[in-house]
């Protein structure tokens, strides 16, 4: 009998995937390019091996990734009989909203977030890698799966989005080698770089202008706090797709070490995003509010209105 919540290796993960079938791949809440790119790449690779595989439809997918995931999605609420695989999910509480809140039944987790042991029956977690895309690429190599141009493109999306198109400090030589390999395998890097990192809708530009004009600075300019209210979103005619990567706006002013973004949510809570240039540790700050993430990029949900949440976070930053 296998041990519950066991840590596994890349080889273990490949061996497990090769012996099972009927896969359903789970992503995280407010999905980004890393979780979706990994899900699509793993799903497509399993299909090339003759396996039945699908990606559970995530109702929070934005227009940026809708075309990527559409050919692989399955919309279901009956999870019986599936081999459930979670990708890039840092905690059971972060599993996508249309999946049961507990982690029962997750057969394997593929992830790169540090600070946790995993919640699945088998957990492949490599926190030294910049993206889950790099972990997934290694699993596909171990599976000896064919990496088609479509799979390479999905993995390039995963790797590039979690490194800010290779601008973030988590980018390593291994990351760049992985990206080069994916381009050599047919990844459409030029198209992806343009669509995800260059072009912006006018509504997003208007929202950015409002965020920048209202930015506040603390600790002699070391800390920048950006607030995004429901009224600002409405005035800019912005939608959920325009919210992607807004957490990095407050990190752009010269001299800022800690960027705090507070977004007012319709249910009265406040979404917290923390980005840091060097220190303090973003994940440690967010863990104070029940969240988590990486050393330089993390998030949490605060059960308070935005003004109160701002006061709580500023106090936490001062303590850190």
Long-range contacts of 282-288 (CB under 8 A, 24+ apart): 282/258, 283/114, 283/115, 284/320, 285/313, 285/316, 285/317, 285/320, 287/115, 288/316
The burial of 220, by beta-carbon neighbours within 10 Å (0-12 exposed, 13-18 middle, 19 or more buried), is given as exposed
Specify the 3-state DSSP secondary structure of 79. coil
The whole-number pLDDT of residue 64 equals: 93
87 touches 42 (CB < 8 A): yes
d(CA 320, CA 250) in angstroms, rounded, equals: 18
Q: In the 3-class helix/strand/coil scheme, how is 195-231 assigned residue by residue?
A: HHHCCCCHHHHHHHHHHHHCCEEEHHHCEEEEEECHH
d(CA 298, CA 284) in angstroms, rounded, equals: 9
What is 6-196's CATH number? 3.90.1640.10
d(CA 58, CA 56) in angstroms, rounded, equals: 6
The whole-number pLDDT of residue 3 equals: 40
Residue 236 tokens read as 């800019």
Print pLDDT tens along the chain (320 aa): 344 689 999 999 999 999 999 999 999 999 999 999 999 999 999 999 999 999 999 999 999 999 999 999 999 999 989 999 999 999 888 899 999 866 568 999 999 998 788 999 999 999 999 999 999 999 999 999 999 999 999 999 999 999 999 998 899 999 999 999 999 999 999 999 999 999 999 999 999 999 999 999 998 999 999 999 999 999 999 999 999 999 999 999 999 999 999 999 999 999 999 999 887 889 889 989 988 888 888 899 999 999 999 999 998 887 76
Packing angle, helices 132-143 and 10-19, rounded to 10? 60
The domain over range 202-319 is classified in CATH as 3.10.310.30: yes
Each residue's pLDDT tens digit, 170-191: 999 999 999 999 999 999 999 9
Q: Could you count the other beta carbons within 10 Å of the beta carbon of residue 188?
A: 17
According to DSSP, the residues that pair with 58 across neighbouring strands are: none
Residue reference for tokens 């890393």 = 34
The whole-number pLDDT of residue 281 equals: 87
Peptide bond into 135 cis (omega under 30): no
Long-range contacts of 252-256 (CB under 8 A, 24+ apart): 253/215, 253/217, 253/221, 253/224, 255/221, 255/222, 256/217, 256/221, 256/222, 256/223, 256/224
Q: Where are the domains of the chain?
A: 6-196, 202-319
Each residue's pLDDT tens digit, 17-47: 999 999 999 999 999 999 999 999 999 999 9
């Amino acid at each position: 009998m296998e041990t519950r919540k066991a840590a596994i290796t890349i080889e273990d993960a490949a061996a497990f995937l090769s012996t099972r079938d009927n896969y359903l791949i789970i992503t995280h809440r407010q999905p980004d390019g890393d979780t979706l790119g990994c899900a699509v790449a793993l799903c497509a690779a399993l299909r090339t091996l003759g396996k039945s595989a699908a990606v559970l439809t995530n109702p929070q997918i934005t227009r940026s990734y809708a075309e990527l995931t559409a050919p692989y999605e399955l919309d279901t609420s009956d999870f019986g009989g599936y081999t459930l695989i979670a990708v890039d999910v840092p905690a059971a509480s972060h599993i996508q909203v249309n999946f049961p809140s507990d982690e029962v039944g997750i057969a394997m987790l593929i992830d790169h977030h540090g600070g946790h042991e995993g919640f699945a029956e088998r957990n492949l977690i490599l926190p030294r890698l910049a993206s889950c895309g790099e972990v997934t690429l290694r699993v596909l190599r171990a599976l000896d799966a064919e990496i088609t141009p479509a799979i390479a493109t999905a993995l390039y999306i995963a790797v590039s989005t979690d490194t800010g198109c290779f601008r973030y400090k988590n980018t390593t030589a291994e990351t760049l080698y992985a990206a080069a390999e994916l381009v050599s395998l047919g990844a459409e890097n030029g198209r992806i770089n343009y669509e995800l990192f260059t072009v912006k809708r006018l509504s997003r530009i208007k929202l950015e202008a409002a965020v920048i004009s209202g930015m506040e600075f603390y600790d002699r300019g070391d800390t920048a706090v950006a607030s995004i209210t429901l009224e600002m979103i409405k005035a800019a005619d912005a939608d959920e797709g325009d919210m992607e990567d807004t957490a990095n706006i407050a990190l752009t002013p010269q001299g800022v070490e800690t960027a705090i973004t507070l977004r007012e949510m319709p249910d009265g809570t406040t979404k917290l995003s923390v980005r840091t240039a060097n220190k303090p540790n973003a994940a440690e700050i967010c863990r104070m509010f029940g969240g988590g993430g990486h050393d330089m990029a993390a998030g949490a949900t605060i059960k308070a209105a935005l003004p109160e949440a701002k006061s709580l976070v500023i106090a936490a930053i001062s303590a850190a």
